[in-house]
Structure 1
Amino acid sequence: MAEFTFHHGGVSVPSLDEAIDWYGRVLGFELEKRFYIEAARSHTAMVRKGPLRFEIFEVEGAAPLPEERRMPPTDVKTHGNKHVAFRVDSLDDFLTEMEEKGADVAFVVREKFGRGCFLRDCAGNLIEFVEEPVS
């Protein structure tokens, strides 16, 4: 079996500058590089936090994110990529920090099967944060 590791997730946004600011201010990502993808007509940036990366696309003439893609229960009803998820040590501590930063908390899960939450970035894209139980 070929070996591989995770490299990055990607999101499309209406404003690259606003997204670079949001990912930095709210989640602590730093700008790694900016570039233009001619074939996609996309002003693009790669942001990084340690080994984690996000590729952010501002595509000329792109359609806005449909409303049903902004909530996890309705988003899963459309085929395709859904979100990326990151592990947090404490959901409650993470939520407190995100609320202090004014982040848009879309959905919180506190169930027997697990605890986590979804944030919406500045363009409405969903990002999941999961608290893994201590074994």
Structure 2
Amino acid sequence: MSLPVPVTFHHVGITVSNLERAVEWYSKVFGLKPGVALEVSGPSGERVLRLPPHIHRAALLPVGDFAIELLEFEPTRKPMEMRQDDVGYVYTCFAVEDLDDVYQRLTAAGIDFHTEPLVAEEGQIAGSKFCVMRDPDGKTIELVELGPGMRVPALHEAAAAGVDLSDPLIMDG
């Protein structure tokens, strides 16, 4: 087999401290409902994940053509205290149609954001709006209203043309 291997995106996994609480939060805030619920234990789960004996429960919540898998493990390990500038840190970003409206509604519902929506004014990301919040376990969730250059077809077009990593768009908020 030659490389690269063609792929599509299916899901991202987020380990949570309490599966029911996390499902309730993602349902309340984003309207996401479980499409499947699992409980995994025994040798196959240990082999696949390369973990010692454990039980894990999971719920996959569909989001468009993609899903979020929320996972709870027993025994529970201590929460990671990672920041976004730590190698290996992963966060989730949801696209919304009207970020100002979403921000107002979620703020009114008690969701705390790092900042109000910020607007990108230059380069390919111009016209996009961004803001960041946290889920109940402190995981970063970015919300974005996509400007024209951030939509997936525009990203594919730019990737095909070639993007020079040595000449990035310099942003100073």
1:5 equivalent in alignment to 2:19: no
Choose 12-21 or 43-52, whichever is displaced more: 43-52
Q: TM-score, normalised by structure 1?
A: 0.80
Partner of residue 130 from structure 2, selected from 109, 116, 120: 116
Give the SS at the match of 1:86.
strand
Q: TM-score, normalised by structure 2?
A: 0.65
1:43 equivalent in alignment to 2:57: yes
Q: 1: CA distance between counterparts of 2:15 and 2:116?
A: 24
Deviations 1:90-116 (A, max 9, x none): 221110121133223234452435421
1:63 equivalent in alignment to 2:63: no
Letter matched to residue 129 of structure 2: R
Q: Which has the higher strand share?
A: 1
Q: 1: CA distance between counterparts of 2:13 and 2:110?
A: 23
Classify 1:100/1:129 alpha carbon distance in 2 versus 1 (closer, same or farther; 3 Å).
Answer: same
Classify 1:93/1:109 alpha carbon distance in 2 versus 1 (closer, same or farther; 3 Å).
Answer: closer
Greater relative contact order: 1 or 2 (C-alpha under 8 angstroms, separation 6 or more)? Answer: 1
Equivalent position of 2:98 in the other structure: 90
Q: CA RMSD in A?
A: 2.1
State the Cα distance separating 1:88 from its structure 2 match: 1.7
State the Cα distance separating 1:81 from its structure 2 match: 3.4
Q: How many residues align?
A: 128
Consecutive unaligned residues in structure 1, runs of 5 or more:
70-74
The answer to whether the 8 A contact 1:85-1:128 is kept is yes
Equivalent position of 1:72 in the other structure: none
Give the SS at the match of 1:103.
coil
Give the SS at the match of 1:105.
coil
Identity of aligned residues (%): 27
Deviations 1:40-66 (A, max 9, x none): 531111112332311001112221131
Give the SS at the match of 1:89.
coil
| Greater Cα radius of gyration, structure 1 or 2 | 2
Q: 2: CA distance between counterparts of 1:53 and 1:107?
A: 27
Give the SS at the match of 2:20.
helix
Equivalent position of 2:144 in the other structure: 130
The answer to whether the 8 A contact 1:45-1:56 is kept is yes
Equivalent position of 2:88 in the other structure: 80
The answer to whether the 8 A contact 1:46-1:53 is kept is yes
